[in-house]
Amino acid sequence: MAEDRFPGWHGTTIVAVRRGGRVVVAGDGQVSLGQTVIKGSARKVRRIEPGGAPILCGFAGSTADAFSLLDRLEKKLEAAPGQLARACVELAKDWRTDKYLRNLEAMLIVTDGRDLFVVTGAGDVLEPEHDVAAIGSGGNFALAAARALTETDMDAEAIARRALQIAAEICVYTNGNLTVESLEAQA
């Protein structure tokens, strides 16, 4: 697998929080290769607008692989406008079965403000519980922090920022240089 080709390659941390009429996707900026920080200000949360409808995407893993997947997701959304779930399922099916795509090493969090999904190369399209999702090297730290912070009166952005700050304090592959995007949550 990728660990054989790229020993020591580590991802990032992306967290998504839906709360109080907003959905926020936030990610850190660190790109690491082994013990070396290659870049500290990468932008791993993007806003795409296939057909004019805004979609937030966060990715962990190989940047080139993630961009290939985001490009495919955009094409799926153009073919099925307004149908994020369908586009994600189609992407996951292609990702799992296509000879080229199945070698891609990345994970995605995507939302249109109504739906929130984690998409993996194992064919998973997961809708997280508790309106919180996280992926990447520090994903479990950010997920635990965000879940705990939903017990407070903090808004979605404050929860996402604090969860990433906590993850950055614990995970050496996560830094505090954040990119944060938000959308109005839709019913």
Alpha-carbon distance of 70 to 75, in angstroms, equals 9
CB distance 27 to 164 below 8 Å: yes
Among the listed residues 18, 56, 25, 46, the one whose alpha carbon sits nearest the alpha carbon of residue 185: 18
Active-site residue, from 12, 13, 111, 179: 12
What amino acid is encoded at 20 in this protein? G
Q: Which amino acid is at 80?
A: A
- Quick check: is 12 catalytic? yes
Per-residue pLDDT reduced to its tens digit, 160-179 = 999 999 999 999 999 999 99
pLDDT digits (tens, 9 = 90+) for 65-98: 888 889 999 999 999 899 999 999 999 998 888 8
| pLDDT score for 185 | 84
Q: Which residues of the chain have pLDDT under 70?
A: 1-11, 187
Domains, the chain, ordered by start:
2-179 (3.60.20.10)
Residue 8 confidence (pLDDT) = 43
| Token pair recorded at residue 142 | 């950010």
Q: Which structure tokens are listed for 171?
A: 């995970």
